[in-house]
Structure 1
């Protein structure tokens, strides 16, 4: 599957991969931005498969109904109920703590729409599970998947977020006006 994914992503679609997901670290949070189109998901899945590293994801319950539900679960997805005020951060920290190997991909924007501020759940998940954050982006302008080195959070949230924002500074999503 890795070779097939690489063929589609690199040869057919013309994307390039800058860096790769860490293979020697068994647990981390991947934040992917900008998330401005439904196209981000298949490109991200192809990138993950081309790298050979399993990265799980969460999605709204509605995506996991019927045949699509089976498909998304096979791809590594887990449904979440966003209508209830459950403590999702603690639940995901528990998942990290219960597994030998777990990598979770999230969009810090939480939606494909333009947002004024990122959600902070990914940050508190990484801190609570004591795992690094790996930043990933799909730069549609240059058709490049960029992946950062692992970043361990500090006790200075503002400094950490400035570091994250700097990574995404000159990146163009599929719909640039939404980022």
Structure 2
């Protein structure tokens, strides 16, 4: 399947800009913007093009029958977003228990414009002390921009300003309200 996804990534005109961090055995790949169902296929093509075994976290509703098995087969893990489920702690424990764990997620949590990002990805990476890799889907240029990995400092607001706002503000695409709010200090 990777050959097929790589082929479609290439013929659809997408390119990669930045260094692919193939040296990492554990990392959270944080992808923005997430504004269309097509992003999923760009991500599968990117993963195949990079030649890395990167799983992904998606909303639990995607994994229900009749097609849920396909999302699992493609490397997905459902996220159960309930107040009684401490997803961050369970992911931190899972990451620490493995020798290798690369996973991607969209911190917007939806394909709609959002006022702020969900912060779970940050606290998973911080708790497990693994790097975060920023991945921007520049829709207008058909370029996937890969940022240099960084280890979270534990100061969410400072890291958002330092690593996320400037990086994703340069990505051409919709859904920038969260960037405006972070620039204005609204966390």
Structure 2 CA distance, aligned partners of 1:177 and 1:64?
A: 26
Per-residue deviation at 1:66?
Answer: 2.3
Per-residue deviation at 1:67?
Answer: 4.1
After TM superposition, list the pairs within 5 Å mapping 1:2-151 onto structure 2.
Answer: 2-10=2-10, 12-151=11-150
Structure 2 CA distance, aligned partners of 1:54 and 1:178?
A: 30
**Counterpart of 1:160?**
159
Q: What is the DSSP-based 3-state SS (H/G/I as helix, E as strand, rest coil) of the residue aligned with 1:23?
A: coil
In structure 1, stretches of 5+ residues that fail to align are: none
Q: What is the DSSP-based 3-state SS (H/G/I as helix, E as strand, rest coil) of the residue aligned with 1:146?
A: strand
Structure 1 CA distance, aligned partners of 2:120 and 2:59?
A: 15
Per-residue deviation at 1:158?
Answer: 2.4
Q: Summarize the Cα distance change of 1:63–1:156 in structure 2 as closer, same or farther, 3 Å threshold.
A: closer
Q: Deviations over 1:84-106 (max 9, x none)?
A: 53100001111101111001111
In structure 2, stretches of 5+ residues that fail to align are: 178-187
TM-score under structure 2 normalisation? Answer: 0.86
Per-residue deviation at 1:82?
Answer: 2.1
Per-residue deviation at 1:155?
Answer: 4.1
RMSD of the TM alignment (CA)?
1.7
Number of residue pairs matched? 176
Q: Is contact 1:2–1:51 with CA below 8 Å preserved after alignment? A: no
Structure 2 CA distance, aligned partners of 1:93 and 1:80?
A: 14
Structure 1 CA distance, aligned partners of 2:126 and 2:82?
A: 25
Larger relative contact order (Cα-Cα within 8 Å, sequence gap ≥ 6): 1
**Counterpart of 1:172?**
172
Structure 1 CA distance, aligned partners of 2:26 and 2:175?
A: 33
Q: Is contact 2:26–2:130 with CA below 8 Å preserved after alignment? A: yes
Per-residue deviation at 1:177?
Answer: 5.0
